[in-house]
Structure 1
Amino acid sequence: MQTEARVGVVVEGGGPRALNSNKQPPIRQQQQHSQIGTVSQLLAGGLAGALSKTCTAPLARLTILFQIQGMHSNVATLEKASIWHEASRIVREEGVRAFWKGNLVTIAHRLPYSSVNFYAYEHYKKVSSDDLLHMIPGLESHKERIGGDVFVHFLGGGMAGITAATTTYPLDLVRTRLAAQTNVLYYRGIGHALQTICREEGVLGLYKGLGATLLGVGPNIALSFSVYESLRSLWQSQRPDDHTVAVSLACGSLSGIASSTVTFPLDLVRRRKQLEGAGGRARVYTTGLFGIFKHIIKTEGFRGLYRGIMPEYYKVVPGVGICFMTYETLKVLLADLHATV
């Protein structure tokens, strides 16, 4: 999830930049963001998410493998695990291409997920700004606009993440199961995995772990949006001449680290829920969400909730940065293309 897709847009109008600087955004930049249409927005978001996931696929697979180790391994085995050891095992037993195992379904999932996420964020942000801020005491005045902007970004990001995750969840589950396979291939591809899960676990099996996903993805993307927007606005108010791509890359990476740290335990639980009963294996957890947390802490310690956090950090810094940077760049390119047609 993590991100999973996070997105940033330029803060316009009366946002932090306007409060901290007498300079107005260039007219050309305003036109670019106003002229980009729905299709272009969806295309930019989808391509940004797909490129980001493809570039960081090896680290994403390592994260998943670490997250699920505690399901079927004893504590002594877990203590010996390391990123280098697991990466070497993959190369030795499965080959280098195995780092991208499940990447096809990741792209198939990420294209619609990121498209819906980006588009929903823009929509929810506008609705929140227009209809909700005036209902919240203290945020309706121009003086408190910075707080209002943060609230809009947080609420819009959370709602967008929930919308995108719910819409594309079965593909996310299939991607996790394909990436978790090592030497034994129980699922032979996207179609075979969908058919097998429906046959063995029922249609509801495609939505295993959705509750934990929604609990995690809402605050994850909300934090990512609000941190990204706040950092980006502050940066541009202090250094307005810095290149947009560099600013997006830096602020996107920092926002990814912040959101991943806060929501990683929920992401770990959702991965384990997604793999319950996979490949004909017996169920490990027989309780609800909080019962799983208690089980992990009891058997693996508190550190067990953050198993796989290091490859996640290594992934999220370039991954989120690439996603933000690509999205912002494509928006400008598509706006320029629209203007010339």
Structure 2
Amino acid sequence: MQTEARVGVVVEGGGQRALHTGHGGVAVAQSLPQPQRKSLQQQHQSQIGTVSQLLAGGVAGALAKTCTAPLARLTILFQIQGMHSDAATMRKASIWREASRIAGEEGFRAFWKGNLVTIAHRLPYSSVNFYAYEQYKRILQTVPGLKNSRDNMSTDICVHFVGGGLAGITAATATYPLDLVRTRLAAQTNVLYYRGIWHALQTITRDEGIFGLYKGLGATLLGVGPSIAISFTVYETLRSYWQSQRPDDSTVLLSLACGSLSGIASSTATFPLDLVRRRKQLEGAGGRARVYTTGLFGTFKHIFRTEGLRGLYRGILPEYYKVVPGVGICFMTYETLKMLLADVSATI
């Protein structure tokens, strides 16, 4: 006869009490108050292995990006309009007009142009991002000054913000060449200069050197650090507050709602940096002449001078349409997969 032995931890009055739950332990868990029981379940669900955690993060990111690929492409096309378009062309631009142009000139499948490289980038990026966040958070929680005040909300926010920022920088640096290739493939319209992922990598290396694969990395790190930091902080804070007020609500819907709100917050705060990053990535693409001959801040000044403040937020509307479902789906899928993988590992 097979005997199962599972150990959970229940926090009571600042101390810890071991809760042994085998076949008869279910009744003990069920006798706990609902908030403590739900907390115990979530703690057990979060205890998955490294491979499972990387898998959950990667699949979550790839699924979210695939679902929102058409809006992501529209965002990129709007962001780069100021590089080679005149003022009259930019005034006529609208989401519906651009979407109609893509469908008419390039076909419906063109909305997912570059999505293969997006998935190739997002799988490792999202895996590293979520995994690194959990590790940085665990390390920060052991820092003496933070460890002694873990129940303090400001301390939790600090841990989420710093951990999220470091995770974003780590993931972005590790996968940046694929992000640059994704941008260039998505920005192509009728003339195909790059025929695929490997061709783009080879062509960029040949024409622009190995450092051409890292164009715009500075703007990316300046943007992605705060973006991921804000995203994780808003998500964790809202989720924690929501669970304390409504512990019986669905975890799936909770993750979807909090993830969507966190996406809006992070996109609004860091969109100008993302726009500059896209334009820097496209410098020299397809043999075109360079538009911005200065550094990051010089590019900011150039865009602001020629296009105004509105130019720094060009494409923000499709960005909102994208991040509300996209970030929500990502967090929802990640949390759901963590629960499923935890259940699977518990039965093995």
TM-score (norm 1): 0.91
Of 44, 67, 72, the residue aligned with 2:84 is: 72
Matches within 5 A, 1:76-87: 76-87=88-99
Residue 110 of structure 1: how far off its partner (Å): 0.3
Of 71, 96, 110, the residue aligned with 1:98 is: 110
1:123 aligns with 2:130: no
| d(CA) in 2 for partners of 1:48, 1:247 | 16
Kept in 2: contact 1:75–1:299 (CA 8 A): no
| d(CA) in 2 for partners of 1:220, 1:135 | 26
Matches within 5 A, 1:44-55: 44-55=56-67
1:30 aligns with 2:38: no
Q: Which amino acid aligns with 2:244?
A: S
| d(CA) in 1 for partners of 2:268, 2:292 | 24
Task: Look up the SS of the partner of 1:24 in the other structure.
Answer: helix
Residue 166 of structure 1: how far off its partner (Å): 0.1
Kept in 1: contact 2:121–2:179 (CA 8 A): yes
**Could you give the per-residue CA deviations for residues 272-310 of structure 1, whole angstroms, max 9, x where no partner exists?**
000000000000001111111110011111100000000
1:141 aligns with 2:149: yes
Structure with the higher strand share, 1 or 2: 2
Aligned counterpart, 1:108 = 120
1:178 aligns with 2:185: yes
1:336 aligns with 2:343: yes
Q: Which amino acid aligns with 1:204?
A: F
CA distance 1:238–1:71, change in 2 (3 Å)? same
Of 216, 230, 235, the residue aligned with 1:223 is: 230
Kept in 1: contact 2:227–2:269 (CA 8 A): yes
Q: CA RMSD in A?
A: 1.6
| d(CA) in 2 for partners of 1:25, 1:168 | 39
Structure whose CA Rg is larger: 2
Q: Which amino acid aligns with 2:323?
A: V
Quick one: percent identity of the two aligned structures?
78
| d(CA) in 2 for partners of 1:240, 1:67 | 41
Of 324, 328, 333, the residue aligned with 1:321 is: 328
Task: Look up the SS of the partner of 2:213 in the other structure.
Answer: helix
1:152 aligns with 2:165: no
Residue 157 of structure 1: how far off its partner (Å): 0.3
Task: Look up the SS of the partner of 1:187 in the other structure.
Answer: coil
1:259 aligns with 2:271: no
Kept in 1: contact 2:128–2:171 (CA 8 A): yes
Of 202, 212, 230, the residue aligned with 1:205 is: 212
Residue 22 of structure 1: how far off its partner (Å): 9.0
1:165 aligns with 2:157: no
Q: How many residues align?
A: 318
CA distance 1:228–1:98, change in 2 (3 Å)? same
CA distance 1:50–1:22, change in 2 (3 Å)? closer
| d(CA) in 2 for partners of 1:41, 1:177 | 30
What are the ranges of 5 or more consecutive residues in structure 1 without an aligned counterpart?
1-11, 15-20
Residue 32 of structure 1: how far off its partner (Å): 1.8
Task: Look up the SS of the partner of 1:130 in the other structure.
Answer: coil
| d(CA) in 2 for partners of 1:225, 1:263 | 14
CA distance 1:135–1:30, change in 2 (3 Å)? closer
Residue 142 of structure 1: how far off its partner (Å): 5.7
Residue 33 of structure 1: how far off its partner (Å): 1.4
Matches within 5 A, 1:281-320: 281-320=288-327
